[in-house]
Amino acid sequence: MRAARRWALISAACLAGLALAALALNSVRAAPLTADLSDHLIKITTGFTGTDVLLFGATDGPGDVIVVVRGPAARTAVRRKHRVAGIWVNRSQVVFSDAPSFYAVAASRPLEELMGTQALKRHQLGPWGIKLTAEEEDDDGLRIAYQAALNRIRSAEKLYQLESKKVRFLGEQLFRVDITFPSNVPTGIYTVQVFLVRDGDVVTAQTTPLKIEKHGFDYEVFEFAHTHSALYGLFAIALALAAGWLASVVFRRS
């Protein structure tokens, strides 16, 4: 962690100043790929409306970069409404045991230009990065339709970002990209993978963790409600009783 932080400082400086950039590049040259985030912790507070995190790094020579950000996996139900007696009702569902709650891809060039489909599949990049396991494997065609719906809905909420965002190179070796997290981003431990691609294949890869958590008052309330739910219930009742009593006192005279 301490080493990572030092890297963050060094790398941040390399973007800021030219003199320091030369120094940083010298020390980078040993590894083919070095990358880090401007922030390893995103705090969701009361006014949270989404945020950008800067990923930056350097390569030891020409090449392309692919960045994959993955949120924690969750059991996820995709439900479909059917018309029953004139009313639209959830009638069928497919449960995926391991759907990523967040998934974003960025690359310095369109993925299909960088690698063949086989290589993309092998390294689980782009759309092949979302691996979904249905809990009841009965109808393959059905499962594909539900999977497409999941991709579509999550993409609309900006939780899945498959339209690869552009990783920009500054010169030949320094690169950067802003990763966008919307306001409804789920909490948990994320992984950020950076791939260095040369001649249609992955040369090397690096993984960095990113933590997203609720913070401050909202976090306290949420934690309280989930870890001490009985106490929270009593607290909610006490608060309501006090507020109701207060209201009757305040407005009694007027």
Position 153 contacts other proteins (CB under 8 A): yes
Residues 180-199 within binding reach of other proteins (CB under 8 A)? 183-184, 186
Residue 97 near other proteins by CB under 8 A: yes
In the window 33-62, what residues touch other proteins (CB under 8 A)? Answer: 44-49
Token digits of residue 151: 């991709």
Select the span of 25-33, 52-60, 143-151, 191-199 touching other proteins (CB under 8 A): 143-151
Please list, residue by residue across 132-156, b when 16 or more beta carbons sit within 10 angstroms of its beta carbon and e when fewer do. bebeeeeeeeebeebbeebbeebee
Interaction of residue 3 with other proteins, rule CB under 8 A = no
Task: Name the residue nearer to other proteins (CB basis): 19 or 243.
Answer: 243
Sheet holding 168-170, edge to edge: 33-37, 51-59, 174-181, 168-170
* 236 is a contact residue toward other proteins (CB under 8 A): yes
Question: Under DSSP, is residue 115 helix (H, G, I), strand (E, B) or coil?
Answer: coil
Is 240 near other proteins (CB under 8 A)? Answer: yes
Rounded distance between C-alpha atoms, residue 214 and residue 232, angstroms: 18
Binding part of the chain for other proteins, among 4-12, 24-32, 61-69, 79-87 by CB under 8 A, reads: 79-87
Residue 88 engages other proteins in binding (rule: CB under 8 A): yes
**235-217-181-15 Cα dihedral, nearest 10 degrees:** -160
- Contact between 117 and other proteins by CB under 8 A: the answer reads no
Q: Is residue 245 a contact point for other proteins (CB under 8 A)? A: yes
Report how far Cα 243 is from the mean position of its chain's Cα atoms: 40
Size of the site for other proteins (CB under 8 A): 64
Q: In Å, how far are 10, 36, 50, 93, 138 from 4, measured between CA atoms?
A: 10, 8, 25, 43, 46
Nearer Cβ to other proteins, position 201 or 220? 220
Which DSSP helix (H) or strand (E) runs through 250? helix 229-250
Among 72, 155, 204, 205, contact with other proteins (rule: CB under 8 A): 72
Q: Cβ neighbours of residue 179 under 8 Å, at least 6 residues apart?
A: 52, 53, 54, 55, 67, 69, 104, 106, 165, 192
Which one of 75, 122, 131, 166 is in contact with other proteins (CB under 8 A)? 75
Asked if residue 83 lies in contact with residue 116, where contact means CB atoms within 8 angstroms, the answer is no
* Segment lying near other proteins (by CB under 8 A), choices 21-29, 34-42, 75-83, 193-201: 75-83
For other proteins, give the closer residue by CB, 37 or 150. 150
Binding residues for other proteins (CB under 8 A): 44-49, 72-83, 86-90, 93, 95, 97-99, 101, 146, 149-150, 152-154, 183-184, 186, 214, 217-219, 221-222, 225-226, 229-230, 232-237, 239-241, 243-245, 247-248, 251, 254
